[in-house]
């Protein structure tokens, strides 16, 4: 089990929206969900170069104490249908997968330790 006071959780999502304002609205909504676990903030909101209808949104969650199980709990809070790859959680949509914000098309959630 990983634990550290010097760690944070990154949430990286691609959202399908028509404007940067809508992408910011989505980021604000997701920050609101994450704030129940600590202090969330948007680090980046920009058009995704590969798919013009998507925005690349990167969020960070900081709290006093994090363990890998926190990532699992946060993933469940955000949606269902996550896949795991090492310590990362990947959400790739699909018929059975649901995310808290329907504009999200892809997500990655991971615990980042700072040493």
Q: Total structural domains in the chain?
A: 1
Q: Which of 44, 46, 41 is nearest to 28 (CA)?
A: 41
pTM confidence score: 0.90
Q: Which domain holds residue 58?
A: 3-113
Q: Answer for the pair 3, 84: CB distance below 8 angstroms, yes or no.
A: no
- CATH at residue 101: 3.30.70
According to DSSP, residue 108 is labeled E
**Strand-pair category, 88-91 with 54-62:** unpaired
- Give the DSSP H or E segment for 83: strand 83-85
Q: What is the pLDDT of residues 29-71, one digit of tens each?
A: 999 999 999 999 999 999 999 999 999 999 999 987 777 788 8
């Amino acid at each position: 089990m990983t634990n550290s006071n010097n760690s944070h959780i990154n949430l990286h999502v691609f959202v399908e929206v028509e404007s940067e304002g809508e992408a910011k609205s989505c980021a604000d909504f997701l920050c609101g969900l994450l704030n129940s676990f600590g202090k969330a903030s948007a680090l980046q909101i920009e058009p995704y170069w590969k798919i013009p209808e998507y925005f690349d949104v990167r969020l960070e969650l900081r709290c006093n104490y994090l363990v890998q199980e926190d990532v699992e709990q946060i993933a469940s809070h955000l949606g269902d249908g996550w896949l795991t790859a090492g310590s990362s959680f990947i959400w790739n949509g699909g018929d059975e997968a649901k995310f808290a914000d329907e504009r999200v098309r892809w997500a990655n959630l991971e615990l980042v330790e700072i040493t």
